[in-house]
Structure formats: structure tokens, C-alpha cells
Amino acid sequence: MHQYNQTRLFAASCISLLLTAMTFAIRVRLETVFGPDGMGLSLEQIGYAFMPAFWGFTLAIILGGQLVDNIGMKKGMWLAFICHAIGITLTLTAYDFSSLFIATIVMGLGNGMVEAVCNPLVASMYPLDKTKMLNRFHLWWPAGIVIGSIASLMLMDIMGLSWQMMVGSLFIPLVFYGYLLIGQNFPLTERVSLGINQVDTYKSLARPLFLFIAFCMLLSATTELGTMQRIESLLKETGVNALLVLAFINGIMIIGRALAGSIVIKIKTTGMLFLSSIFAFAGLQLLANSSGSFVFIAAAFFAIGVTFFWPTTLAFISENIPESGAFGMSLIGGLGMLSVSLVLPLMGRFLDNSVGAEVIQKMSILPFALIFLYGGLYLRKR
């Protein structure tokens, strides 16, 4: 096997995830561009237009997880790059529901391939520090949300530039991670390097532990991404700038994921997931009953709650069911995105007919259930 540049590949992975997250932040701002006060789409239609971002994400993650083991991670990353380049271009030319829908599908495919390749890539490069390094990799998700939010605020609200300029800013990280990929060798995935056959991988997906974590991922992903994707509408009546709240939440997430290595040593992955559920529930309850500056206090609780959900769930699967390979990690991520795609139009319908606080209250049921599910897992592992 050819030697590979660990530092350069990790940097490329991080920047590709940063781009993926920027698309989510920018999509939040596009809700006002294409919505009732802009191009005239209802909030429910916006939900359906944004839904394929998660469909494409889900499809690419699940199929990409199988592809990565077979075609290699190098081809997978270049496929992500091509989808991103086409998706950004299509978004720039979107003018109605259909064109926005198609653009969002392609962007979703690119975003999904990033997750499908980079999660097993990081796990393969750092086999002894999976939770630490997957959290460090995934801190570039909130970093991308912060950068995307600030870019949206600066370009459109402060500088008064067009929404196309905001979307065009996505070409900057695209060029950077494309450059870092040029001429690079990649490691084998863990499943391939361990000599585990595909049949054993499929069998591992039927294990009760895998099915349990998959169900929990449906709840935790929707808690995190569903809330943040519709935050503009959810916080409309609170008197605060939703993009600033989004940047604040993700700033806390960056710090938390950077410190994950020292936290996991003390309370293990199961402890992290259990405490995350408690904070996420408390945060949503507080958000539903806050206005003005108190929204930021509530948002801090919510941020602490959702910080570790995604990367620590992936690390738990990789550590406890390694035979599931890249496909197992991808399947878990894909299910998380699928759950978000299904809940977005539903949230839009609620928002069209009720105030944001009522919808936030409904969302808090998800982390409330996780308190008991992850609490049970924590006690069992102890």
C-alpha cells in the first residue's frame, strides 16, 4: 500500500465538511429569499424544497458507504467534489420550487459523499483515537455553520449584496479541498484492512446493539439538525436575530468537540450520549419559554446537548461494532439525515399554523426519549 499524507487528508476532510455545513447555514438564509416575503413559496413548500438535501445526503451516505469499501476512498472524495461543484452552480441559477429542488438534491449527494468517505477515513487513520478525532473532524461542522451564518449576515444584510454572492462564497472551500486532494494516496478502509468480508458486515447490521443505536440516531439527528435548519422560523417571535443564535450555538459546539478527547476519557462514549440527551431536552424546554437575551442562555444548554450526538454515535459504532465497516457508519449517518428530511415539511406545516414556541415544545419530546434510552445504555455498559 502506498504511503499517505495523514495531515493533508485530514485537512481536506475538515474543509469538505466545512463546505457541507456552510450549505446548511446558507440554506437557512435562503428560506427568507424563496419564502412568503421573497419569491412567494410557503414555509411548507420550502420544507419540501429543502427535503432533498437530506434525501441526497441519505442516498449518498448509504450507497457511498458501500462504494467506499469497493472503489476506495480516493474516488469517493472526487465524486463528492464533482457533486458539490455542480450543486453550487445549480443553486446559483435556481429561480422557483423545481429548480431549487433539483439543486438541493445534487448538493445533498455531494454532502453525503463527504460523510460516507471522511468518517471511515478518519477512523482508519486514527484507530486508537476514534472518538477524539471524529469529534475533531466534526467540529468543522459547527465551524462551517458559523462561517456560513456570518457570510450570510455580512454579504446580504450588512453589505446589501445579492443572495447569489452568498451562494457563490461556497466556491472558496471547494477550491481549497480540491487542491488538497490532488495527487494524494488514501488508506484502505478498516473493513478491508482487517479482512472482514461483506457478508459479515451485513450480519452485524442486524445485531440488537446496532438497531438500538440506529433508532437513537433518528431522534438525536432530528433534535440537532431539524431545529437548526428551521431556526429562522422557530425564533421569529423572540426578538433576536436567528443567525446570531445559530452562530452562538455552533461556536459552543466547536469548543466542545475540540475538548472531546479529554471528556471521553472521564465518562466514556455512553456517558457523553446520556448527558447530551439531558442538556438537549433542557435547552429546547428553555428555548420554548424564552425571549430577548434569555434565548442565548437557552441556546447554550441546547448547544451543549447536541455537541457530541453525531460524532460520538459514529465513534460508538466504530468502536463496538467494527465489523460493520464504512457501510455501518454510513448507514447510521444516512438514517439520521433521513429522519431530518421527513420532519422538515412537518415542521413547516406546524409553523404555518402555530407559533415557534409550540413547535419547539413538540421537538423536545425527542431528547426526552433519549434520556431514557441512552441512560439505560450507560447503566448497562457500566
The residue extents of the domains of the chain are 6-184+195-381
Mean pLDDT for the stretch of residues 220-239: 83
213-217 own/partner pairs: CB under 8 Å, 24+ apart: 213/313, 213/316, 213/317, 213/332, 214/331, 214/332, 214/335, 215/373, 216/273, 216/313, 216/370, 216/373, 216/374, 217/313, 217/332, 217/333, 217/335, 217/336, 217/339
Question: Could you tell me the CA-to-CA distances from 379 to 34, 125, 246, 268, 374 in Å, in that order?
Answer: 47, 31, 33, 12, 9
Higher-confidence position of 191 and 87: 87
Higher-confidence position of 47 and 333: 333
The answer to whether the CB of 374 falls within 8 A of the CB of 312 is no
Mean pLDDT for the stretch of residues 6-31: 90
Mean pLDDT for the stretch of residues 109-122: 88
Higher-confidence position of 43 and 150: 150
CB neighbours of 111 closer than 8 A, spacing ≥ 6? 20, 23, 53, 56, 57, 60, 80, 84
Higher-confidence position of 3 and 2: 3
pLDDT at 207: 92
Mean pLDDT for the stretch of residues 356-381: 91
Mean pLDDT for the stretch of residues 214-233: 87
Q: Is the pLDDT of residue 1 over 60?
A: no
- The Cα 126–Cα 15 span in angstroms is 18
CA proximity to 56, closest of 13, 24, 15, 32:
24
Q: Angle CA(150)–CA(132)–CA(77) in degrees, nearest 5?
A: 65
Mean pLDDT for the stretch of residues 58-64: 74
pLDDT at 52: 67
pLDDT at 250: 85
> Model confidence at 40, in pLDDT bands (50, 70, 90)?
low
Mean pLDDT for the stretch of residues 137-143: 91
Higher-confidence position of 381 and 311: 311
Q: Is the pLDDT of residue 372 over 90?
A: yes
Q: Is the pLDDT of residue 377 over 90?
A: yes
Q: Which of 151-160, 169-178, 315-324, 344-353 has the lowest mean pLDDT?
A: 344-353
pLDDT at 26: 85
pLDDT at 37: 67
Q: Which of 36-40, 153-157, 361-365 has the lowest mean pLDDT?
A: 36-40
Q: Which of 33-37, 168-172, 309-313, 356-360 has the lowest mean pLDDT?
A: 33-37
Mean pLDDT for the stretch of residues 200-212: 89
Flag whether the pTM goes above 0.85.
no
Mean pLDDT for the stretch of residues 349-354: 77
- The Cα 115–Cα 316 span in angstroms is 16
Q: Is the pLDDT of residue 334 over 90?
A: no
Supply the mean pLDDT for the chain. 86
Architecture of domain 6-184+195-381: Up-down Bundle (1.20)
pLDDT at 158: 86
pLDDT at 172: 96
Q: Is the pLDDT of residue 2 over 70?
A: no
pLDDT at 48: 73
